Amino acid sequence: MKFYEKSSFIISIGLYILIFIVSLFFFDTLNLLNTAMLFMVPILFSALHNERKEVLFISFLCVVSFDVFFIPPRFSLTVSDVNYLISFIIMIATGQMVATLAKQAAIAKELEISEKIQGALLESLSHELRTPLAVIKGCSSGLLEQNLILSDKERILLIETIDENAEDMEQLIHNLINSAKLKNGILHLKKDICDLEDIIGSALLKTEKEQTANFVISQNIPTIYANAIFIEQALINLLDNAFKYGFDVGVSVTEKPNGVLIVVSNQGTIPSMNELCEATKPFVRLSNASSKRGLGLGLHVVQLIAEIHGGTLTLKSENERFFAELFLPKRAQ
């Protein structure tokens, strides 16, 4: 049971207790019809927020309490009028029907949201891939043009441009596929003992181009139990963002009592705290990324990778510097 479902069930119990106390307190004032309507409140609340079995439990709790404490003869499960039995059945059936309708409405809403996301994804993906494809096509056509005389420097420049744009496309596609697989629980990650220094070094080699990062690592960094490929992908995403949207990039690794903290930081245009709170959601792009290519999945993928390893991703800004803090436990979950 998820936390939200647990909290909703607790609230339903609380509503039941409140209604029960109020009904007892105003027993001489309220008639049975009004009391029955009051007991429908926790049933309907539970039906809108809980699973059918929780709704059934709340419904029986309300019906039994209503019967024992309010229906004559009181303090007995005996029912003197068959109409009361019909009312009890209606109360329970109403709760189940509302729960079923609420579930169907939630599924319909999820499908609607999914369709909107898919539409936005296809539109965004086609837009983001069109530019590097056009560049690659233009450069490759130039290389294949027999009548075009190119110097060795110009030829190398065209090849490097093709390579850079191909890397951008590969990164977009990797983030898209990884996001879908991680979110849907398709991947069963193979974890092993990993050397963080080697992983970070590999990630830096793949992201350092025009700029280099200041890499600071404390003594005796422990090994971690994780999937090295995905930890490297998370670091590549963080470093790629740091180099793309800022300068003076720094990487630090610090041992903590129960894990390791990797911090990737940079100077540049710092998004607001409101933006940072939304930054790890899928397809969200920050204001400083408007002129760059991307699907808004990089930080989302990092967060998913952190979660499946029992870690966390924290984003913050301090003294005109942006910090992405990736915490990984020594022994991942």
Select from 63, 78, 109 the last residue of a domain.
109
**pLDDT at 113 (0 to 100):** 58
**pLDDT at 290 (0 to 100):** 52
* Position 314, amino acid: T
**pLDDT at 40 (0 to 100):** 93
The answer to the question of residue 310 being in a domain is: yes
The answer to the question of residue 311 being in a domain is: yes
Nearest to 173 by CA among 297, 308, 299: 297
Cis peptide leading into residue 73 (ω within 30°) = yes
The answer to the question of residue 266 being in a domain is: yes
**pLDDT at 4 (0 to 100):** 40
Residue 259 in contact with residue 330, Cβ under 8 Å?
A: yes
Residue 301 in contact with residue 282, Cβ under 8 Å?
A: no
The tokens of 278 are what? 């939304």
Select from 92, 109, 126 the last residue of a domain.
109
User: What are the start-end ranges of the E strands in the chain?
Assistant: 192-194, 214-217, 224-226, 246-256, 259-268, 312-317, 321-329
Domain count, the chain: 2
How far is Cα 329 from Cα 213, in angstroms, rounded to an integer?
24
Tell me if residue 315 falls in helix, strand or coil: strand
| Residues 90, 211 share a domain | no
The answer to the question of residue 125 being in a domain is: no
Q: How far, rounded to the nearest angstrom, does the alpha carbon of residue 285 sit from its chain's CA centroid?
A: 15
Please list the pLDDT of the chain residue by residue as tens digits (333 residues): 443 446 889 999 999 999 999 999 998 888 888 999 999 999 999 998 888 899 999 999 999 999 999 988 888 887 777 778 888 888 999 989 998 888 888 887 766 755 665 555 566 566 667 777 888 888 888 888 877 788 888 888 888 888 888 877 777 777 667 666 666 554 556 778 888 888 888 888 888 877 888 888 777 777 788 888 888 888 988 998 888 888 889 999 988 888 899 999 998 877 777 777 777 776 666 665 555 555 567 788 888 888 888 899 999 888 788 899 999 987 644
The answer to the question of residue 118 being in a domain is: no
How far is Cα 44 from Cα 12, in angstroms, rounded to an integer?
9
Half-sphere exposure of 158 (CA within 13 A, CB side): 19
The tokens of 117 are what? 């996301």
Domain extent, residue 215, equals: 192-329
The answer to the question of residue 143 being in a domain is: no
The answer to the question of residue 177 being in a domain is: no
How far is Cα 291 from Cα 293, in angstroms, rounded to an integer?
7
Model confidence, pTM: 0.52
DSSP 8-state class, residue 125: H
Select from 83, 109, 135 the last residue of a domain.
109
The answer to the question of residue 168 being in a domain is: no
CATH (domain of 222) = 3.30.565.10
**pLDDT at 217 (0 to 100):** 77
**pLDDT at 184 (0 to 100):** 58
| Residues 325, 200 share a domain | yes
